Structure 1
Amino acid sequence: MAGRLKLSAQILAVGVVAALFALLAWKLATQDEGAASKLGRGANPAAPSFRLDRLDRPGKLTLAAYRGRPVVVNFWGSWCAPCKEEAPVLEGVWQRYRGRGLVVIGIDFYDVKSVARRFARENRMTYPLAYDGPGKTLSDYGVAAAPETYFVARNGKLVCDRIQGGLNLDRNRDLFEACVQELLGA
């Protein structure tokens, strides 16, 4: 009797695990992949809007506040080594082109605010910074990993392709500069 009970419990456990995997597979197959999936198919979707707590000062940061201006949106985390390496690249672009209207926005995610603020201070990040702790904006954009960078034209549409990985990497540096120039010319 104990053997049959044990076998029944094992069968039930396997069934529950199988059901959970099926649910996960269904969820992944039917979920909206965010703006990145549309951008990757050659479309220029509207950049997802956001209203997030600021890290660089009190208040909220919204994409709508920069409508009509070219915007670089960079997703980062204090726990991300490539994010630290690319911070000077983003700061340099912000300093070099903000006089021409370019805005760089850094969005920190899956982090602790105090740690993110310290990271920003230590890396001399002076461009607008926001906090997306739970990752809703991350999901809206379809961010796969940190760092990831998007380009928003003056009309609010995403242009170029997202850049995954550090901007300091050779394979990303030229694409990043070309996308910034496209934003400034648009």
Structure 2
Amino acid sequence: MRRLARARLVAVGLAVAALAAVAGCGGGGTGTPAAAGAGRADGGSVPAQLRFDAATVDGGRISGASLAGRPAVLWFWAPWCPICHGEAPDIARAQKKFGDKVQFVGVAGLGTVPEMRKFVADTGLGAFPHAVDDNGRLWSSFGVDEQPALAFVTADGEVRTLQGLLSEAELNMYTEQLVTS
């Protein structure tokens, strides 16, 4: 009897988590702020959010500390998210336009690594690394609870996270601000 009750509880929990994930696919509207302000927790040279080490979709590793001291854009996406698929061409164009001045990093979550690899291949986003956030810690550290989302990190460590779909013009505007700040 306890096993059956436990199995039902697990099934209900998984169903709720799946519904929350699907509902999070861009449901927050255009560019809703999730977390803004200084990224430095202790005055150190590496902002708190950039203190991570993660596997990448292509089998490598990425260290957030390698992004410190230069502007960066982190794009949070899920491989099954249709809004992320729709935003991918804008991200690719922005990376091509600003990639010599701003480091772009994808942060993939809510899927399997093979699904993430397929997403990167299908969308032509292989020009920059994509971290695998299989446990949600990286998303959480940037205040991300839905995808797509973008975190804009200035060279001096200020982090601004925006959740929801951005237009290409908004993406370019925020990225340009990183270059000129």
TM-score, shorter chain, exceeding 0.5: yes
Pairwise CA distance, 1:37: 5.3
Give the CA deviation at 1:110: 1.6
TM-score, normalised to structure 2, is: 0.71
Provide the secondary structure at the position in 2 that maps to 1:78.
Answer: coil
Q: How does 1:1-186 map to 2 (within 5 A)?
A: 38-39=35-36, 43-46=37-40, 47=47, 48-49=49-50, 50-56=52-58, 58-99=59-100, 101-126=101-126, 127-159=128-160, 162-167=161-166, 172-186=167-181
The percentage of counterpart residues that share the same residue type is: 24
SS of residue paired to 2:69: coil
Q: CA deviation at 1:142?
A: 1.2
Deviation, structure 1 residue 45? 3.0
1:144 Cα deviation (Å)?
Answer: 2.0
Rg: which structure is higher?
Answer: 1
Asked if the contact 1:85/1:166 (under 8 Å) is kept, the reply is: no
Q: What SS does the aligned partner of 1:52 have?
A: strand
Once superposed, what is the RMSD of the aligned Cα atoms? 1.7
Measured after TM superposition, the shift of residue 122 of structure 1 is 0.7
Q: Which has the higher helix share?
A: 1
1:38 positional shift: 4.8
- Gap runs ≥5 in structure 2: 1-32, 41-46
Number of residue pairs aligned between Structure 1 and Structure 2: 140
Larger RCO: 1 or 2 (CA < 8 Å, sep 6+): 2
- TM-score w.r.t. length of structure 1: 0.69
